[in-house]
Amino acid sequence: MRQMKKSEKTVTSKEGYGLAVYLLFTGIMLLTGILCVCVGSVNVPVSDTLKIIGNAILRRPAAPGAASSIILSVRLPRVLCVALTGAALSVCGGAMQGLLKNPLADGSTLGVSSGASLGAAVAIAFEIRLPFLPFSATMAMAMLFAFLSLVAILSLAYRLDCSLSTNTIILIGIIFSMFISSILSLVITFAGDHVKSITFWTMGSLAGSSYGNALVLLAALILCAGIIIWHARELNAFAIGEDNARHIGVNVQRVRLVVLITVSVLIGVCVSIGGSIGFVGLVTPHIVRMLTGPNHKRLLPGAVFAGATFLMLADLAARVILRPLELPIGVVTSFIGAILFVYIYYQSRTVSR
């Protein structure tokens, strides 16, 4: 009896602690967003920044000067796109780690991001123009190749294993990524003067992002992240094991397909706008899991805010470390993410002992 009361108190305290961390993430994300809008090659005071954004929201005339143009035309749309991309990559990573029961999984495990990168590289290398579409050719080709990659991966996995087991999906994803990488290298070989543009794009960059890009990312995040979070209970069951999920009545194959397709769509949209940005979906879910616990009902919403914060800070570092020069954001996330992942892994091993 005492043991039951003690466990109930422990669960309650963990839930309260998780909520506090969730609110903390929200506050940190908002403060980070304001900081990223203010700081850059030209620093703008916080009071001026808030005034400029407030006037724009209330449709008041903008104050004369370069600050308004910098904030509204350059930094604000970029910070919005960075935050939305970070949130999307992080929630995809959390979902894939639970679905595949693999701590090294993230949104790129399927190889869809490699396919999207190939589509963008083809558009850049061969100067493809699609005037009949509202999006740029690079974005449209990346999304198209991401979709074709998903179809190819799932079709091949189904042909090899009708049950679409986790090991089969991971293996096909790895092989497909290696295959696409070889084709991408071939495209770069014949890219000529566009090699620099392709290389910079594949390292990830959200420079030049627009409000239109932010709207696309927001729509994709609301739809796809909503579907993923809706399946949080099933992901909790998957994290324990597929057999356990079947025993409690989860339609394993259907849920797996829904989550995989949703993650692939969201990753395809992110890659089509910002290029390949690594380690966000791998590291941030682990950080959130250490703070809120493994329950996906708290983990996935927390990953949204943590991913947005992490990528905004990485983008800020990319902009200011060598200013006025700018580093690709993928370089910064890989550098920071690798160090964080080694630290998290070391801490988890220490605790388990």
Q: What is the pLDDT of residues 231-281, one digit of tens each?
A: 999 999 988 877 778 888 888 888 988 998 899 889 888 988 888 898 899
Cα(138)–Cα(272) distance, integer angstroms: 7
- pLDDT above 60 for 213: yes
d(CA 341, CA 171): 22
Is residue 9's pLDDT more than 60?
A: no
Can you give the pLDDT at residue 79? 95
**pLDDT tens digit sequence for 13-42:** 555 555 676 678 788 999 999 999 999 888
Q: Which candidate, 102, 134, 110, places its Cα nearest to that of 262?
A: 110
List, in order, residues 6 or more apart from 292 with CB less than 8 Å away: 17, 18, 21, 22, 298, 299, 302
**Cα separation, 273 vs 205, whole angstroms:** 9
Of 98, 37, 117, the C-alpha closest to 278 is 117
C-alpha distances (whole Å) from 234 to each of 107, 253, 334, 346 are 18, 11, 31, 29
**Cis peptide before 324, with omega less than 30 degrees from 0?**
yes
Distance separating alpha carbons of residues 87 and 83, to the nearest angstrom: 6
Task: Kindly report, residue by residue over 48-80, the tens digit of the pLDDT.
Answer: 888 888 888 887 776 667 788 889 888 999 999
pLDDT value at residue 134: 55
Residue 308: predicted pLDDT: 95
Structure-block tokens of residue 277 = 């940005």
pLDDT in tens, 139-191: 888 888 888 888 888 888 888 877 767 778 888 888 898 999 899 989 888 88
pLDDT score of 82 more than 90? yes
Q: What distance in Å separates the CA atoms of residue 346 and residue 81, rounded to the nearest whole number?
A: 32
Cα–Cα distance for residue pair 349/285, rounded to 1 Å: 17
pLDDT of residue 5: 44
Cα separation, 160 vs 117, whole angstroms:
26
The answer to whether the beta carbons of residues 129 and 137 sit under 8 Å apart is: yes
**Domain architecture of the chain: domains with CATH:** 81-352 (1.10.3470.10)
Flag whether pLDDT at 193 surpasses 80: no
Helical axes 76-100 vs 2-38, angle rounded to 10°: 150
Question: Helix H segments across the chain?
Answer: 2-38, 46-57, 66-69, 76-100, 112-125, 137-160, 166-189, 195-202, 211-230, 232-240, 242-247, 252-274, 280-292, 296-320, 329-352
Q: Residue 99: how many CB atoms within 10 A of its CB?
A: 25
